[in-house]
Amino acid sequence: MRKSIWLLIYSFVLVVWLCPVRAWAGPAIDDGIQSARKMDSGHFSIFLSAGVDEDQLLKRLDIGPDHKILAGQTLQGAVFSPGSLTDLLDALFIWSCGVLDMNLYNYRGNIKIVKEPGQLGEVYLKLYGVPGHADKAFYIYETNTIYITEQDFTKEILGHEIAHAIISNFFVVQPPQKVAEVLAGYIEFQLRKLGGNRPHLQTLTAGAVPAVTAGN
């Protein structure tokens, strides 16, 4: 009996040891990207390539105080600033976790932002040795990294990739690609709906802040 328990423990350790580990557990993988700047948020390490402008990213992301995304973060007790890229990315992450009902409180991942769309193809080719098809953004599970261009740094496209990161990290056994795609598409759809509601900025600046509720 005692022998069989040890055999079980030994087998478990062996299986865990032999399991394919994430790239961050091993030597860094060269994706060919030269980052000019690194920022850290609660959930992400964010790498900006040369020429990528933080103000442009904020503008493209276009998340304002009237978006429910920020209310989600407020409810969790975090303090956010609508002008802070790191805060907004955390808010988007927390909101997406809430919508998917997949909370990952200790999640940390990478977001790499490149200047030109063509650079994503080069990254994919460098990592996999074959041309990739995504020229706006993609997520790589093995390195837990989202790649996205400055031009496509919208909450909808980024939210789609963040959803892929959440789904990949939530499940121990990865769901079928089609299922992941449907869920990521759902997050993107919810964000597009939010986008259409934007502009009560006049009301906001007039001081009559409308009540905002979390979730969607």
Give which of 59, 56, 67 is closest to 204, Cα–Cα: 67
Length of the chain: 216
> 99 or 184, CB closer to Zn ion?
184
Is 140 a binder of Zn ion (CB under 5 A)? Answer: no
Coil vs helix vs strand at 94: helix
The span from the CA of 206 to the CA of 66, in Å, is 14
**Alpha carbon distance 9, 15 (integer Å):** 10
Q: Alpha-carbon distance 95 to 173, whole Å?
A: 23
Give the CB-nearest residue to Zn ion. 184
Site string for Zn ion, 168-187 (x = CB under 5 A): -------------x--x---
Question: Is 94 or 187 the residue whose CB approaches Zn ion more closely?
Answer: 187
Residue 162: CB minimum distance to Zn ion, A: 11
Output the smallest distance, CB 164 to Zn ion, in A. 6
Closest approach of Zn ion to the CB of residue 213, in Å: 28
Q: Which is nearer to Zn ion, 64 or 121 (CB)?
A: 121
Nearer to Zn ion, 63 or 162 (CB): 162
Question: Which of 94, 92, 107 lies closest to 170 in space, CA to CA?
Answer: 107
Task: Please count the residues of this chain forming the interface with Zn ion, following the rule CB under 5 A.
Answer: 2
As given in the structure block, the two tokens for residue 107 are 């999640």
* Sequence-separated (6 or more) residues with CB below 8 Å from residue 189: none
> Which residue's CB is nearer to Zn ion, number 92 or number 184?
184
Report in angstroms how near the CB of residue 2 gets to Zn ion at its nearest. 49
Residues that bind Zn ion in the complex, under the rule CB under 5 A: 181, 184
